[in-house]
Amino acid sequence: MAKPVMADKHLHFAQALSPGGWAKHVRIGIADGVITTLVEGVEAEAGDECHAIGLPGMPNLHSHAFQRGMAGLAERRGPGDDSFWTWREIMYRFVDRIDPDGLRAIAALAYMEMLESGFTRVGEFHYLHHDPAGEVYADPAEMSRAIIAAAAETGIALTHLPVFYAHAGFGGAAPQPGQRRFLHDLDGFARLLDGARAAAMQLPDAIVGVAPHSLRAVTAAELGHLPALAGNNPIHIHIAEQVKEVEDCLAWSGQRPVQWLLDHAGVDARWCLVHATHMTPDETRALAASGAVAGLCPITEANLGDGLFPAPAFLAAGGRFGIGSDSNVLIDMSEELRWLEYGQRLFARGRNMLAPDAGRSTGQVLFEGALAGGAQALGVAAGLSVGHAADMISLDPDHPSLAGRSGAALLDSFLFAAGRGAIDRVWRRGKDVVRDGRHIARAAVIADYRRALEPLVA
Ligand code: ZN
């Protein structure tokens, strides 16, 4: 029989969201970063650290950290109609100049902001691999090391998703010059994965998955080789984000992207389909039935003018979803969830669109759904339970928007009224990395970011 583990410390919450719902007087023991005991309905003991409102940390299932550095730089109207594709040209020009240390500094800022907004694990969909000339670095995982260093510096948990990217369009079209830093063949990609896995060992609980970039960037034959490289770890892909992508896929295969992927790639619960914006009702039901997670990025999808995910039909079919900050134009967990709901309200001219039954709290449905789906997509267990990492948030009970609230009403008021300003502390593996809403290394991370950004925006 295993020896009971003695807790290093105890946290006590007047109320906390546990897997069984809201509980009162929750005492959580933590040892080596992991929850070892969780008892409800008990008072605090001497030496406990006491807080009012506890929530599990939220997974951020989709990020391109370097894009934080260009946030706001693509909001000026161009000569013609602007679109995702004109935004991508600006992104390619920005990406041309980033070196490993610059990537580390930008990623550290993004990860710090994620923690401050309540995200405790990030899925980094990482495609910036090579030097500015497109040559492989002496260490092929040099840029992955920069991401891992940023995670170590800020304390965020990392699910690293090295991206396989080989082509510029469906059917293996030759890559463009702007894509030269992203490209691999399958052998080179296997070397990158080996390097990234070795580097990730320095983090306490990192996971390394695999990410075929999109059906534009990977041939059917290449896609067939990638799931085996993931083992049991997550597989993420961008899909059906843009109408043009749907049209190009139809022209190439006669099928729409989600339909093609479900028919050809063995999609299961290891997979996360990022965006999946443009689906027919049949695709929506089939994706829900596959057990894969839909990776929704409402702020970025709004910013890029992607379109609106068919969330009510997907949830009604039992679909699983999580949220991602994607382009990192604005990093804010509560705002992602708010916009997931608000997009549907604006479209359908209704309210409480994602709560399934009368009387259900929209805030709690959004929070618990994104928690479970996000954790699945990042390869970890969700929520506050014994054996899980002690990744937690506390809300400030003195925030005026939370006055007099308890239980589900706290989540509704946090997500729809207070926002990130109500976040007091954030713990990673039991260590508080955010206090009074600010990361403990905030000043140093920002100073480092400013220095790194100067040559990139000059
Ligand atoms: Zn993306």
Residue 3 scores a pLDDT above 70: no
- Among the listed residues 441, 367, 437, 435, the one whose alpha carbon sits nearest the alpha carbon of residue 49: 435
Contact indicator for 109, 115 with CB cutoff of 8 Å:
no
Per-residue pLDDT tens for 391-450?
999 999 999 999 999 999 999 999 999 999 999 999 999 999 999 999 999 999 999 999
Distance from Cα 213 to the centre of ligand 1, integer Å: 9
Distance from Cα 230 to the centre of ligand 1, integer Å: 19
Distance from Cα 123 to the centre of ligand 1, integer Å: 11
68-82, 89-103, 159-173, 231-245: range with lowest mean pLDDT: 68-82
User: Please, where are the H alpha helices in 96-165?
Assistant: 100-116, 142-154
Task: Please give the share of the chain, as a percent, with pLDDT higher than 70.
Answer: 99
Distance from Cα 168 to the centre of ligand 1, integer Å: 16
Confidence (pLDDT) at 4: 59
126 has catalytic annotation: no
Q: What angle do CA 242, 261, 134 make, to 5 degrees?
A: 65
Q: What is the mean pLDDT of the chain?
A: 95
Residue 326: burial class (beta carbons within 10 Å; 0-12, 13-18, 19+)? buried
Distance from Cα 60 to the centre of ligand 1, integer Å: 12
Distance from Cα 309 to the centre of ligand 1, integer Å: 15
Per-residue pLDDT tens for 112-136?
999 999 999 999 999 999 999 999 9
Choosing from 326, 332, 412, 424, the catalytic residue is: 326
- Give kind and range of the element (H or E) at residue 377: helix 362-378
* Torsion angles phi and psi, residue 119, rounded to 5: -85, 130
Contact indicator for 173, 183 with CB cutoff of 8 Å:
no
Contact indicator for 266, 290 with CB cutoff of 8 Å:
no
Task: Please give the share of the chain, as a percent, with pLDDT higher than 90.
Answer: 91
The single residue listed with the structure tokens 């207070």 is 418
Q: Residue 424 corresponds to which tokens in the numbers above? A: 């007091």
Q: What is the DSSP letter of 323?
A: E
Distance from Cα 324 to the centre of ligand 1, integer Å: 9
User: Which neighbouring-strand residues pair with 11?
Assistant: 28, 49
Residue 84 scores a pLDDT above 80: no
Read off the amino acid at residue 47.
Answer: G
Choosing from 275, 278, 399, 439, the catalytic residue is: 275
Q: What is the mean pLDDT of residues 294-299?
A: 98
For residue 151, give Cα distances in angstroms to 100, 205, 208, 448.
Answer: 14, 11, 13, 15
Q: What is the mean pLDDT of residues 338-356?
A: 96
275 has catalytic annotation: yes
Q: Residue 367 corresponds to which tokens in the numbers above? A: 């929070």
Contact indicator for 290, 262 with CB cutoff of 8 Å:
yes
Distance from Cα 455 to the centre of ligand 1, integer Å: 25
Q: Residue 159 corresponds to which tokens in the numbers above? A: 């699910």
CA distance 124 to 61: 8
Distance from Cα 327 to the centre of ligand 1, integer Å: 7
Domains, the chain, ordered by start? 9-56+383-438 (2.30.40.10), 58-378 (3.20.20.140)
Q: What is the mean pLDDT of residues 151-177?
A: 96
Distance from Cα 37 to the centre of ligand 1, integer Å: 37
The single residue listed with the structure tokens 């990744």 is 391
Distance from Cα 418 to the centre of ligand 1, integer Å: 28
Q: What is the mean pLDDT of residues 368-391?
A: 98
Distance from Cα 44 to the centre of ligand 1, integer Å: 44
For residue 314, give Cα distances in angstroms to 30, 40, 183, 348.
Answer: 37, 34, 34, 15
CA distance 114 to 153: 13
